[in-house]
Structure 1
Amino acid sequence: MKIGQFLRALVALGVGIFITFSQDHSAALGLIAIVIFSLATAAVTTVEAFAIKGSAKIETIPAIVLGIVIGSLGLMVTENQTQAFVLLVAAWGILAGSFELYQARSVGLKTQNGRDYLISAVFSLVLGALFIINPLDIVSMVGFFGAFAVMSGVHLGIAAFTPGK
């Protein structure tokens, strides 16, 4: 079992279930969800980075910084919560997706880890593009973020338990 992917799967599924079973899909709830998701993902990545040896450890720093920055910005929002939620999720999706795409390419697209990074990158980039290209109402946007979290959680959970070669 790959513990880092398993922990990220738990975070994503937790956020997805939190959104799914909340009656209020408001901007405030979406901000809470993105803050929890980004900070928890940064924490998991930090813990995982201590187990990595070599140059791969340095490659996790942008993901950690991105999670901390998005989470911190989400905590500072007091007004225009809808716009802030859209911008934070779009920024996170595009930046995290780009970073995961880089990781997929550096690990190798033919490897199991490379394909896992590629699938995660596609999920993140599609979410970011959706929020940038197609302005929706806040209920739909929070719902799409919840759906993304569940899909990512399921993917990461499967990847965590897939035996390596």
Structure 2
Amino acid sequence: MADARDAAPERAAAWLVPVVRGTLALVPSAIITFSQDHSPALGLTVFGAWALASGVVVGALAARLVADRAARWVFVVNGVLTAAAGLVALGLRDTSPGGVAAFTFTVAVWAAVTGILELIVGLRSRGRLTAARDWITAGALTAILALVFVLFPLDPVTAVGLLGAYFVVLGVLLLIGGFSLKWAASGPVGTGGAASGSERS
């Protein structure tokens, strides 16, 4: 039997997914911004802790609140991949201290895979799901982070600083998108608003 969520409008609390995701992204951005240490070890620690927490929390929320089947599974898979990347980063922090290559490679691989997956599901859902534009923006931003880490020779300070800037932009965009979806969903019927991932009328 097909999951009833696949045919149903998005749940009213679905706006929590981008809001929680955005809030979690602002935590490492604050740590990086206010830390005088921009070493690869700090980058691996901050990224690893964020990825582990974000992967588990956002993946679990998406599994319960995202109604569209394809999008739901993409976010669950991205949650698993993000948590796995966090474990890898925390392990590399102890085995290769001071290695900017380990930091940039870990972040680049994670960003490329998860960013492309989110971008694809956003493009496939464009015009059908309200949250598609936010998925496209977040996916493109994450994929661009991967390109920058791969194409440019970054020193440790620049690499960690770019990760912090990415978290700031991502967090703000997701919070704006999430609260916009919440306000649209709570508006009068027929105004065109819908919660994250809901079908447009």
Q: Which residue of 1 aligns with 2:125?
A: 107
> 2:56 matched to which residue of 1?
43
Runs of 4+, deviation exceeding 4 Å: none
1:128 aligned onto 2:146: yes
Alpha-carbon separation, structure 2, partners of 1:53 and 1:115: 16
Among 78, 89, 96, the alignment partner of 1:74 is 89
Deviation at 1:55, TM superposition (A): 2.2
Deviation at 1:61, TM superposition (A): 2.8
Identity of aligned residues (%): 31
Q: What pairs with 1:1-165 in structure 2 (closer than 5 Å)?
A: 2-48=15-61, 49-53=63-67, 55-56=69-70, 57-77=72-92, 78-79=95-96, 81-108=99-126, 111-162=129-180, 163-164=183-184, 165=193
CA contact (8 A) 1:4 1:44 kept: no
Distance 1:111 1:55, change over 3 A: closer
Paired with 1:92 and 1:51, the residues of 2 have a C-alpha distance of: 24
Q: How far does residue 53 in structure 1 lie from its aligned partner after superposition?
A: 4.6
CA RMSD across the alignment: 1.8
Maintained 8 Å contact 1:109/1:118: no
Q: TM-score, normalised by structure 1?
A: 0.92
Unpaired runs of at least 5, structure 1: none
Q: 1:50 to 1:27 in 2, by over 3 A?
A: same
Change beyond 3 A, Cα 1:5–1:54: closer
Separation in structure 1 between the aligned mates of residue 144 and residue 75 of structure 2, nearest angstrom: 22
TM-score w.r.t. length of structure 2: 0.76
**Whose RCO is larger (CA < 8 A, sep 6+)?**
1
The whole-number CA distance in structure 1 between the counterparts of 2:127 and 2:66 is 20
Looking at secondary structure, tell me which structure has more helix per residue. 1
Contact map agreement 2:29 2:164 (CA 8 A) in 1: yes
- CA apart distance, 1:83: 1.3
Equivalent residue pairs, number: 165
